[in-house]
């Protein structure tokens, strides 16, 4: 058996340094940074107590009160209860909140009335409707102004076409008349052509004097109306009816009427082309807003309207200017020789407006976007 090493139990061969000299004088040791740490847990030890389960979340609506009356505030399945005050936040009020007053029922939406044949449906003031795509669908009622503007544009085109056709025909007729006069005049050379030109100018002057018979001067007495006495030049006809005066006076004998028609044929055609061209220009640039209300008054009236009542109803417009504008519209009839003198619209004009309104209603019913 081997003997133990003589130095096995000897610890003095390698002495450790003494740290006691480095400690402070008060004798207190250094603080342990892990002194407050919890005891180390063995991860393989399953015998320790489990952590307590977390508390359930608070009910935001509180505990249902079985004695509460049903309200419309909160719906909790089958039962409907009022809100509970002071759930985890505030204290309950001293007294129970009063029962809420039920909301008044919303008024039922008025059904949109269909467009009917009513005298007041023209000039409807309703805001413009909208189509499904959001575009403007036009006013809720057809307006007489729209029909009148469309009618004036159509008549202006018709007059312009007539003037374009009659102007060269009238010039050719004037040239033929000048040639015939040059042959008939008993003269030679330049004097012959000069006399023919003078006679032709005289024919134009005679035709102009005959054209003045297209109007008649009417003196309008106010009577019991709030207007001043006024004198206006009223057309004898309406629209194309003034063409009858191109044939001359019917008071003359037949032979004189024939001679007048033959000799004044060229000047009358030129005058006709000029009048139609001027009428086309006036109808194209006419102020529809200024005559829409007067025409509406005549369309709604049952029969004749006296000048005194008509001028009183539209006293913001000049009487003569109003007569001149209405005289350009075919269908407005002036009655200067009646007692009292007045004006009206023809039945054909009323029927034309009624047909346009019916067509407007059919297109709107079909969903056509008229005014986009």
Comparing 318 with 129, which gets the higher pLDDT? 318
| Interval 23-49: pLDDT, tens | 555 555 566 666 666 666 666 655 555
Give the mean pLDDT of the chain. Answer: 72
Cross-strand partners of 234 = 216
Q: Are strands 215-220 and 230-235 parallel, antiparallel or unpaired?
A: antiparallel
Predicted pLDDT at 157: 92
Q: Band of the pLDDT at 117, cuts 50, 70, 90?
A: very low
Which residues have a Cβ under 8 Å from the Cβ of 33 and sit 6 or more positions away? none
pTM of the model: 0.55
267 lies in some domain: yes
Residue 153 within any structural domain of the chain: yes
CA distance 201 to 182: 13
Residue 103 forms part of a structural domain: no
Contact 166, 269 (CB under 8 A): yes
Structure tokens at 184: 């008939």
**Angle separating helix axes 190-211 and 144-184, nearest 10 degrees:** 150
Q: Is residue 116, in this structure, part of any structural domain at all? A: no
| Residue range(s) defining the domain that contains residue 284 | 144-365
Is residue 231 included in any domain, yes or no? yes
Q: Does 109 fall in a domain?
A: no
Higher local confidence (pLDDT), 306 or 130: 306
Q: Tell me the three state secondary structure of residue 230.
A: strand
Count of domains forming the chain = 1
Maximum CA extent, the chain: 188
- Please tell me the chain's helix, strand, coil percentages from 3-state DSSP, rounded to the nearest 5: 40, 5, 50
């Amino acid at each position: 058996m081997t003997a133990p090493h003589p130095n096995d139990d000897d610890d003095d061969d390698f002495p450790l340094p003494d740290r006691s000299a480095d400690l402070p004088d008060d004798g207190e040791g250094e603080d342990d940074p892990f002194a407050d740490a919890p005891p180390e847990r063995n991860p393989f030890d399953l015998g320790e107590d489990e952590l307590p389960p977390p508390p359930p979340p608070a009910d935001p609506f509180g505990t249902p009160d079985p004695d509460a009356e049903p309200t419309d505030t909160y719906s909790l399945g089958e039962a409907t209860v009022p809100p509970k005050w002071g759930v985890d936040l505030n204290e309950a009020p001293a007294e129970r909140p009063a029962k809420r007053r039920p909301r008044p029922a919303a008024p039922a939406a008025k059904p949109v009335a269909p467009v009917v044949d009513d005298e007041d449906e023209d000039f409807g003031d309703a805001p413009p409707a909208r189509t499904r795509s959001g575009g403007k669908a036009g006013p809720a009622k057809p307006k007489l102004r729209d029909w009148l503007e469309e009618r004036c544009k159509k008549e202006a085109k018709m007059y312009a076409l007539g003037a374009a056709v009659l102007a060269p025909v009238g010039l050719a007729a004037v040239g033929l008349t000048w040639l015939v006069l040059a042959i008939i005049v008993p003269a030679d050379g330049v004097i012959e052509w000069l006399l023919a030109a003078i006679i032709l100018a005289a024919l134009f002057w005679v035709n102009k004097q005959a054209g003045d018979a297209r109007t008649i001067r009417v003196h309008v007495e106010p009577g019991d109306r709030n207007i001043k006495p006024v004198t206006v030049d009223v057309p004898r006809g309406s629209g194309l009816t003034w063409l009858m005066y191109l044939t001359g006076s019917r008071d003359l004998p037949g032979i004189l009427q024939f001679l007048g028609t033959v000799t004044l044929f060229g000047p009358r055609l030129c005058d006709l082309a000029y009048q139609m061209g001027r009428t086309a220009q006036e109808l194209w640039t006419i102020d529809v807003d200024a005559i829409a209300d007067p025409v509406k008054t005549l369309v709604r009236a049952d029969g004749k309207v006296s000048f005194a009542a008509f001028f009183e109803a539209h006293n913001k417009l000049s009487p003569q200017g109003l007569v001149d504008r209405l005289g350009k519209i075919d269908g407005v009839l002036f009655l200067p020789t009646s007692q009292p003198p007045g004006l009206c619209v023809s039945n054909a004009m009323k029927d034309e407006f009624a047909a346009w309104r019916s067509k407007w209603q059919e297109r709107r019913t079909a969903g056509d976007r008229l005014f986009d």
